[in-house]
A = this chain, B = another copy of it.
Amino acid sequence: MTPPKDITIYDIAKVLNVSPATVSRGLKDHPAIRKDTKKRILDAARKMGYQQNTFASNLRSKRSNTIGVIIPRLNSYFMSTVIAGMEKVANQSGYNLIISQSQESFKKEIVSVNTMYDSRVDGLMVSLAYDTADTDHFEVLLKKNIPIIFFDRVIDHPGCTSIVIDNKQAGYDATVHLLKQGCKRIMQVAGNLSRNVYADRLEGYKMALAKFGIPFDSTLVISNSLLSEQGGVDAAQLILSMEHRPDGIFASNDTAAVACMRQLKLSGIHIPNEIAVVGFNNDPISKVIDPNLTTINYPGHEMGEVAAATLVNKLDQKNAPSLNTIVLRHELIVRESSNRN
């Protein structure tokens, strides 16, 4: 049994005794079309079960109405809220999203970019993989004037807008908070320092120490951690093995902070009295761990909305002014893991 043939604008044209061109216009919001013929066309289309053929349309118009999204991983609360925000804005504006995960790998990111290119996305939104080393793979798109927006893990590139929070300030806020709780030796569990987010958070940490006149001690920084559960456990084990243990931890994400806390608790360390802990992201687990984790609220949904809105704007009005960087507001949320009062 073969499926019945698709209805095309020719079929509608024949029925209504107009030309296919008119049908095409009626289906869109073409300015030069009489209201009643448009209505007739729309009615007939509905009645006949017409579905537009996007391939033909895209082929002809050279637009896909599709926006690509490349992210390291989907499995964090932060990322899923970002995606939800993007979907909302994109769909409202008539764009579809296609999502690809780089799995934190530079190589896979390159593949993803090429897939997006092949799919002829109208624009791209990217948060970089853990070990992305350069931006050459984006050039194919940029050469064709396909706009790219970076968000969260960004890289400075002329002509591309970045959406971020002030990670330096956030790192500063987190560290100052710990210092004000009386911490003198604060460990910083950082990620790959070639990623802006982790480098900046560390930078903010250093600024806070300087402000409080505490000398920076590089043995208190764990860099290039994957900030995974394992990363948190490793950090805890390192701490437990230290002669002179830290009295505070600022971890660059909640996953690592929580895993670290669990491990420390298992060894009988009291949080926050012996070691106070601050995480980053305001992931739901931060409210599950006992004691609840102090963290930095990261506005994921808003970041998704802003990124998509910025891109759609660029797409719809080519003359839109190209901002370099948009900074969203973050917020320190103090909970029991660091509160010694």
**Residue ranges of A at the interface with B (Cβ–Cβ < 8 Å):** 1, 3-4, 51-56, 58-59, 64, 73-75, 77, 80-81, 83-84, 87, 96-101, 103, 115, 117-120, 143-145, 229, 258, 262, 284-285, 287-290
- Measured CB to CB, the closest approach of chain B to A151, in angstroms, equals 17
- Measured CB to CB, the closest approach of chain B to A140, in angstroms, equals 8
Copies of this chain assembled into the complex? 2
Cβ 8 A contact of A99, one of B53, B73, B99, B143:
B99
Question: Which partner residue on chain B sits nearest A258 by CB separation?
Answer: B288
Inter-chain CA distance A96–B288, complex, in Å, is 36
Question: Which partner residue on chain B sits nearest A300 by CB separation?
Answer: B75
Inter-chain CA distance A83–B80, complex, in Å, is 12
Inter-chain CA distance A289–B120, complex, in Å, is 45
Asked if residues B119 and A96 are in contact (CB atoms below 8 Å), the reply is yes
Q: What are 12 A-B pairs with beta-carbon distances under 8 A?
A: A3-B145, A51-B117, A52-B118, A53-B59, A55-B58, A55-B59, A59-B59, A74-B80, A75-B77, A75-B84, A262-B287, A288-B289
- Measured CB to CB, the closest approach of chain B to A94, in angstroms, equals 11
What residues on B are CB-neighbors of A287 within 8 Å? Answer: 262
Asked if residues A143 and B80 are in contact (CB atoms below 8 Å), the reply is no
What residues on B are CB-neighbors of A73 within 8 Å? Answer: 80
What residues on B are CB-neighbors of A1 within 8 Å? Answer: 145
What residues on B are CB-neighbors of A143 within 8 Å? Answer: 3-4
Inter-chain CA distance A285–B290, complex, in Å, is 12
- Measured CB to CB, the closest approach of chain B to A254, in angstroms, equals 10
Cβ 8 A contact of A115, one of B77, B96, B289:
B96
Inter-chain CA distance A199–B239, complex, in Å, is 47
- Measured CB to CB, the closest approach of chain B to A289, in angstroms, equals 5
Inter-chain CA distance A1–B59, complex, in Å, is 22
Asked if residues A51 and B118 are in contact (CB atoms below 8 Å), the reply is yes
Asked if residues B54 and A56 are in contact (CB atoms below 8 Å), the reply is no
A59-B59, A97-B99, A258-B288 given. 5 additional CB < 8 A pairs? A3-B144, A53-B59, A54-B118, A55-B58, A73-B80
Inter-chain CA distance A59–B8, complex, in Å, is 13
What residues on B are CB-neighbors of A55 within 8 Å? Answer: 55-56, 58-59, 64, 120
- Measured CB to CB, the closest approach of chain B to A81, in angstroms, equals 7
Pick the most buried of A75, A96, A103: most chain B CB atoms within 10 A of its CB: A75
Inter-chain CA distance A290–B289, complex, in Å, is 7
What residues on B are CB-neighbors of A64 within 8 Å? Answer: 55
- Measured CB to CB, the closest approach of chain B to A195, in angstroms, equals 21
What residues on B are CB-neighbors of A284 within 8 Å? Answer: 229, 285
- Measured CB to CB, the closest approach of chain B to A324, in angstroms, equals 20
Closest 3 CB pairs of A and B: A75-B80, A55-B59, A55-B58
Asked if residues B144 and A54 are in contact (CB atoms below 8 Å), the reply is no
Inter-chain CA distance A64–B55, complex, in Å, is 9
Question: Which partner residue on chain B sits nearest A101 by CB separation?
Answer: B87
Inter-chain CA distance A64–B262, complex, in Å, is 48
Cβ 8 A contact of A98, one of B84, B96, B117:
B96
Inter-chain CA distance A83–B99, complex, in Å, is 11
Inter-chain CA distance A60–B14, complex, in Å, is 23
What residues on B are CB-neighbors of A118 within 8 Å? Answer: 51-52, 54
Asked if residues B74 and A83 are in contact (CB atoms below 8 Å), the reply is yes
